[in-house]
Chain A
Amino acid sequence: MSILEWLPWERARRTAELSDELRTHLDLATADRIARGEAPAAAAANARREFGNLGLATELSRDQWGSAGMWIEQLWQDMAFALRVLRRAPAFTIAAVLTVAIGVGGSTALFSIVDATLLRPLPYPHPEQLVRVVDDYPGVGGRDVGMSIPEWHDLERSGIFSDISPCWFDNNNLSGLVRPQRVSLLIVAPNYFNLLGVAPRLGNTFDPRDPTPGFNQQAVISDGLWKRLFGGDTGVVGRVVQLDSDSYRIIGVMPRGFQAPGDTRDERGTEVWPAFGFGGAPLDDATIQSRAGLFPSAIGRLARGVTVADAQRRVDALVQSLRRQYPADYPAERDWHVRVLPLADSVAGDVGRPLLLLLGGVGVVLLIGCANIANLLLARASARGREMAVRQALGGGTSRLVRQLLTESIVLAVIGGAVGVAIVAASKHALIGVLPDSVPRVNEVAIDWRVWAFSMGASLAAGVLFGLVPALRARRVDITAVLREEGRSNTAGLARGQARHALIIVEFALSLVLLSASGLLARSMWDMLRVSFGFNPRDVTVVRTRLPYPNDASEDLYATVTEESRFVREVLRQCKTLPGVRDVALGGGAAVPLDHPYQDQTLLRVVFERAEGRSNDPLDVTGSEVTPGYFGVLGLSLKRGRLLDEHDTDASPPVVVINEAMARAFWPGQDPIGRRIKTSPRAAQWSTIVGVVADARTESLAEPVRPQVYASLYQREAKHLAIFVQGGGAPAVLERQVRDVVQSLNPSLPVFGVETLDATITASLALRRLSLVLIALFAGIALLLSAIGIYGVVAYVVSERTQEIGVRLALGAERSQVLGMVMRQELGVVIIGATGGLIGAVFLSRVLAGWVSGVRSLDPLTLTASVAVLTAVAAASCYLPARRAAGIEPVIALRG
């Protein structure tokens, strides 16, 4: 049997042949009888009688053709019939298709993002071998504390990795062929591209075995930079550009769509890759040999046959032996660990959970939509009761009827799903545009077969889900009752009412879960924004610049604090004269609240002069370098002692200001003023604490404030500088004005990254806000669908009970009593749903609290409010049909 025979038209042809054959049989029999002398009419009748049931013979013969073909043929018939039925009820069809389109479209949109960011393997050969390797100090709560060069060499020699390369993100000033530009730089070992297994679109990548100890003066650039700066000129390979003041030859251009597999937005946006041997200038020998974290982390390719778990085990063993070998570098309480995590996971970072949360949310909307359509189908089932009864009476098998009803639902769902995906595909770019740029790999979002398969799977599941209950109910039709037209107000109707109420319970339970999820997220956002930030972002604009860091230290114009201070003071003086500017301050990159990439994050390894009961080992504290005006511009209030001032320079003893969290943590109940700390174990001088400022949530809005040290920019240098301008013009204007100021002092310095602090705060909350908005939107849709659902059911119940209500009114019931009765019964159903939902919501809030920082694990206020909103909406949607019940005229009701 070939597969061709399963095709419906092939079966139709064979069926025609078969009936032809059976008719011939009859004709031959008739002819025989006539030949034996029977009258033609009698012969035909007798032949017919002898033959038996023609239709049955055909059916039995066709049964022999195998079930697959029959199944397909029936499916074909069912689908054609379903389309006819759906066309006959356009209002129902449109409502149902739209409901599915919203649910499946939303799920598909989120799935396409989840797929690109979380599920799809990285676009490199053997992506499962790629890992990121990071250092942690779990003992002191330090994550991602950076890796040192000796540690990298230890890992390189361990045999666990076939290649491992540091990844060190930086900004740089590119000049030479074009006007000075700030570019994103990723300093890597020469084996980086070989490790990833990606070839350039033009030129070459580095020789993985290049032995140069310092920078080999070669650079690979991204396709984006190539187009942006060089207009896609193929002659750019081999040309020389300046990065800061050093010359680099461009040796290759990476292909379009190649993105550094970074764990930060900045690293993913890398435009230039220089290769560095991590064994020479500009690093000094002490840095090269130090086991203190230098660069953020490394990426590696595991040796053949090594799994991530194996690698972690072997790295753990290596770390243990290194800790024994270098006890001074790895004090026990830091509990130094090295984490090996799949590169794809590290790229996905912390967006995974919010995305899964949203996917779950839209999935719930889809479920509620299914419940609603099931309700519509049940309502239609009462209208189609006669049709079903007639078909059963004529011998339609119940399983066949169930199948046909299911096919109808699935056809409906698939149409809805296709509409949804078509909308998603058409609005793909808008969709990506909504995502905050902290979401990785959005360039890989594609509406491809995976996404289609997902959406079709979701549609099919939805179709089965909403079609199953009505289809199974159709089996229980009481044929005789329906055919005697008594099917209107009997038990079948009641049973249907129960099924519909069960669906309403499910809808309201799910709605409550979504509602409370959005409530919890809103509450956490509110908590975050309501409490004072501790700093005042109003009217403050940040403009960044970066001082060069030449490979040859003798070329460094800003090698000492004295030289840098001269520049800083001049920038301050000139910026203060800009129109509308009230105050200006400068700081290191870490001084910018809520927005500093790794290379700006200064974890100071603080050493205390007096142990005072603590261990004398260095502790990690966040720190930043600022000019004295910083506290005024950001509105950080002084609690004790004094702020930094202009007299704290490299000519005077070093001083620092700390925050209250630090004072509380290290000098509880004591006065920290006058205590001395070293801002690094290698620092030559002790710094005296001169003041304590109020806590400011400059590191994170969601998490508690951590200990913080503010050093003077006149005493401690920083290469990444932020200029804080209070007042002044629009950001674009300010950027131009500040650029003029900075470049009048040194024309080669880049000025970039202008942003108001308000915008920075908004951006830092972008993913959280998007989650909140979307979950609230889903909750709104869910509530609307549930309201429509309960409205429909109450209207149905009222119409079923018209006679009964008529009797009640005729016997003297008050209209308000009737209204109350209907409302009470329906709201009872809602309360059951809400109770179920409450259990789900409590469970969900536990999960949410673990996933999203700042969410309370049990929040009675939010839960109560959600229940109240739900009940109000339900009551409102019950009220209209219930009032109609109260308005029934007994005379008309009883007559009808």
Chain B
Amino acid sequence: MQKPPVTSRMELLQGTLDFIVLQALRWGPCHGYGLAQLIRSQSGNVLQIETGSLYPALQRLLRQKAISTEWGMSENDRRVRMYRLTGKGRGRLAAERSRWEQISRAIAGLMIPPVPEDT
């Protein structure tokens, strides 16, 4: 598989990573490997999450009770830990999303500045 170009790899801020994981779990329960794949494919191979970041994020979200976990079966019948969004996680996701939209609107505003007035 081809590696995404170094320049496009994004340093993910912790808060953003948690947001992305929660967002990915919105589609239903998933295991760790599946989450990594899902995030990569949905971001068009731009966001590749290091396992060294993913699993700590999952443990962090578990501790915050934003997600829950139980043992389950993967598509190819392997015993895996499945994560699912809790009610609390859903609330958090909604809050994070509105914050994200605010920020991205603000950044978009900065990127496309109004036509400067001649002085």
Q: Tell me if B55 and A22 are in contact (CB < 8 A).
A: yes
**SS of B interface (majority):** helix
Q: Is the Cβ of B51 less than 8 Å from the Cβ of A21?
A: no
| Shortest distance between the CB of A159 and any CB in chain B (Å) | 62
Taking CB as reference atom, which chain B residue is nearest A54?
B51
| Contact A52 B52, CB 8 Å, known A28-B78, A61-B59, A64-B63 | yes
Please, which residue of chain B has its CB at the minimum distance from the CB of A21? B81
Which residues of A are found within 8 Å of B76, using beta-carbon distances? 31
With an 8 A cutoff between CB atoms, is B118 at the interface?
Answer: no
Cα–Cα distance between A51 and B60 once the two chains are bound (Å)? 20
Q: Are B60 and A64 in contact (CB under 8 A)?
A: yes
Assess the A61–B33 pair: CB atoms within 8 A. no
CB distance from B36 to the nearest CB of A (A): 8
Contact B55 A57 (CB under 8 A): yes
Instruction: Say which residue of A17, A31, A32, A56 sits within 8 Å of B52 (CB atoms).
Output: A56
| Chain A: CB-nearest residue to B3 | A50
Given A17-B81, A24-B78, A28-B78, are A60 and B33 also a contact pair (CB < 8 Å)? no
Most chain B beta-carbon neighbours within 10 Å: one of A17, A56, A60: A60
| Contact present for A25 and B78 (CB under 8 Å) | no
- Contact check, B80 vs A24: say whether CB atoms are below 8 A apart: yes
A60 to B1, alpha carbons, bound, how many Å?
A: 27
A60 contacts B55, CB within 8 Å? Answer: yes
A321 close to chain B: CB less than 8 A: no
Give the CA-CA distance A748 to B50 in the complex, in Å.
102
* Distance to closest chain A CB from B60 (angstroms): 5
Nearest CB of chain A from residue B4's CB, rounded to whole Å: 12
A843 at the interface (CB under 8 A from B): no
Q: Is B104 an interface residue (CB 8 A)?
A: no
Q: In whole angstroms, what is the CA distance A56 to B50 when docked?
A: 11
Asked whether A28 and B59 contact (CB < 8 A) given A17-B81, A21-B81, A53-B52, the answer is: no
Does chain B have a CB within 8 A of A27?
A: yes
Contacts of B50 in A (CB 8 A): 52
Chain A 20-39 against B: per-residue CB contact (8 Å), 1 yes, 0 no? 01101101110110001000
| Closest partner residue, chain A, to B71 (CB atom) | A17
A65 within 8 A of B: yes
Q: Is the interface of A mostly helix, strand, loop or mixed?
A: helix
Shortest C-beta distance, B14 to chain A (Å), equals: 11
Q: Given A21-B32, A24-B78, A28-B78, are A64 and B56 neighbors across the interface (CB < 8 Å)?
A: yes
Name the residue on A nearest B64 (C-beta): A64
Interface residue from B32, B37, B59 paired with A64 (Cβ < 8 Å): B59
Beyond A25-B32, A29-B33, A52-B50, is A61–B55 a contact (Cβ under 8 Å)?
Answer: yes
Q: In the assembled complex, how far is the CB of residue A670 from the closest CB belonging to chain B, in whole angstroms?
A: 96
Q: Return chain A residues, CB-CB under 8 Å to B37.
A: 32
| Nearest Cβ on chain A to B37's Cβ, whole angstroms | 8
- Using known A-B contacts A29-B33, A64-B63, determine if residue A24 contacts B79 with beta carbons closer than 8 Å: yes
Decide if A422 is an interface residue (CB 8 Å cutoff).
no
B51 near A52 (CB under 8 angstroms)?
A: yes
Given the complex of chains A and B, what is the CA–CA distance between A225 and B37 in angstroms?
A: 89
B6-64: which residues lie under 8 A (CB-CB) from chain A?
31-34, 36-37, 50-53, 55-56, 58-60, 62-63
Interface residues as binary, A43-77 with B (CB distance below 8 Å gives 1, 0 otherwise)? 00000000111001110111111100000000000
Q: Shortest distance in angstroms between B42's beta carbon and chain A's nearest beta carbon? A: 17
Contact of B102 with A by CB under 8 A: no
CB neighbours of A24 from chain B (8 A): 31-33, 78-81
Residue in B closest to A57 when the chains form the complex, CB atoms: B52
Please state if A25 and B56 are interface contacts (CB–CB under 8 Å).
no
Q: Is there contact, CB below 8 Å, between B56 and A65? A: no
Cβ distance B110 to chain A, nearest Cβ, rounded Å:
34
A18-B55, A22-B51 in contact; A28/B74 too (CB < 8 A)?
yes
- Complex alpha-carbon distance, A64 and B67, angstroms: 14
Is A60 a contact of B80 with CB atoms below 8 Å? no
Q: In the complex, which residues of chain B have a beta carbon less than 8 angstroms from the beta carbon of A31?
A: 76
What is the bound-complex CA distance between A57 and B58, given in angstroms? 12
Verify if A1 is at the interface (C-beta below 8 Å from B). Answer: yes
User: Which residues from chain B contact A65 at a C-beta distance below 8 Å?
Assistant: 59, 63
Given contacts A31-B76, A63-B56, A64-B56, contact A25 B33 (CB under 8 A): yes
What A residues does B51 contact at CB under 8 A?
22, 25, 51-52, 57
Please give me the residue from chain A that is nearest to B50 by CB atom: A52
Q: Which of A51, A61, A66 contacts B56 (CB under 8 A)?
A: A61
CB proximity of A2 to chain B, nearest CB, Å: 12
Complex formed: what's the CA distance from A53 to B58 in Å? Answer: 17
Could you say which residues of chain A place their CB within 8 Å of the CB of B52?
A: 52-53, 56-57, 60
Residues on B with C-beta less than 8 A from A22 are 32, 51, 55
Q: What's the nearest-Cβ distance from chain B to residue A657, in Å?
A: 92
Chain B residues whose CB sits within 8 angstroms of the CB of A21 once the complex forms: 32, 55, 80-81
**Least Cβ–Cβ distance between A320 and chain B, in angstroms:** 70
| CB closest residue in chain A, given B48 | A50
Among residues of B, the one whose C-beta sits closest to the C-beta of A14 is B59
A57 to B1, CA, bound (A): 23
> How long is the Cα–Cα vector from A429 to B80 in the complex, in angstroms?
64
A-side contacts of B59, CB under 8 Å:
18, 61-62, 64-65
Bound Cα distance A18, B53 (Å): 14
Q: Are B33 and A1 in contact (CB under 8 A)?
A: no
Say yes or no: A27 contacts B63, CB within 8 Å.
no
CB neighbours (8 Å) of A18 from chain B are 55, 59
Most buried by A among B36, B37, B51, B74: B51
List of A residues within 8 angstroms of B62 by Cβ: 64
Tell me, rounded to whole Å, the shortest Cβ–Cβ distance linking A68 to chain B. 12
Residues of A within 8 A of B31 (CB): 24, 28
- Tell me the bound Cα distance from A27 to B55 in angstroms: 16
Convert A671-683 into 0s and 1s, putting 1 for each residue whose CB lies closer than 8 angstroms to a CB of B.
0000000000000
Are the C-beta atoms of B78 and A1 separated by less than 8 Å?
no
Checking A27, A36, A58, A60 against B78 with a beta-carbon cut-off of 8 angstroms, the contacting residue is A27
Closest to A56 in B: B52
Please give the distance in Å from B53's CB to the nearest CB on chain A: 8
Interface centre among A24, A28, A63 (most CB of B within 10 A): A28
A66 to B52, CA, bound (A): 17
| A22–B59 alpha-carbon span in the complex (Å) | 13
- Tell me, rounded to whole Å, the shortest Cβ–Cβ distance linking A217 to chain B: 77
Residues of B within 8 Å of A52, CB to CB, are: 50-52
Instruction: Give the shortest distance, in Å, between A135 (CB) and chain B (any CB).
Output: 70
CA distance A36 to B58 in the complex (A): 28
Residues of chain B lying within 8 A (CB to CB) of residue A58: 55
Distance A66 CA – B62 CA, assembled complex (angstroms) = 12
Q: Which residues of A contact B58 (CB under 8 A)?
A: 61
Measured in the bound complex, the distance between the Cα atoms of B51 and A710 in whole Å is 101
A802 to B60, CA, bound (A): 58
Closest to B78 in A: A24
Q: What is the CA–CA distance of A24 and B79 in the complex, to the nearest angstrom?
A: 8
**B32 neighbours in A (Cβ, 8 Å):** 21-22, 24-25
Please give the distance in Å from B3's CB to the nearest CB on chain A: 9
Determine the chain B residues whose CB is within 8 A of the CB of A29 once the complex forms.
Answer: 33
Name the CB-closest residue of B to A51: B51
Residues 323-360 of chain A: 1 if any B CB is under 8 Å from the residue's CB, otherwise 0?
00000000000000000000000000000000000000
> What is the minimal beta-carbon distance from A544 to any residue of chain B, in angstroms?
79
Nearest residue, chain B, Cβ from A58: B55
In addition to A17-B81, A21-B81, 20 A-B residue pairs with Cβ atoms within 8 Å of each other are A1-B63, A18-B59, A21-B55, A25-B51, A28-B33, A28-B80, A52-B52, A57-B51, A57-B55, A60-B52, A60-B55, A60-B56, A61-B56, A61-B58, A61-B59, A62-B59, A64-B60, A65-B59, A65-B63, A66-B63
Closest 4 CB pairs of A and B: A64-B59, A28-B33, A61-B55, A60-B56
23 contacts between A and B (CB under 8 A): A21-B55, A21-B80, A24-B78, A25-B32, A25-B36, A27-B78, A28-B31, A28-B33, A32-B37, A51-B51, A52-B51, A57-B51, A57-B52, A57-B56, A58-B55, A60-B52, A60-B53, A60-B56, A61-B56, A61-B58, A64-B59, A65-B63, A66-B63
A interface list, Cβ under 8 A from B: 1, 17-18, 21-22, 24-25, 27-29, 31-32, 36, 51-53, 56-58, 60-66
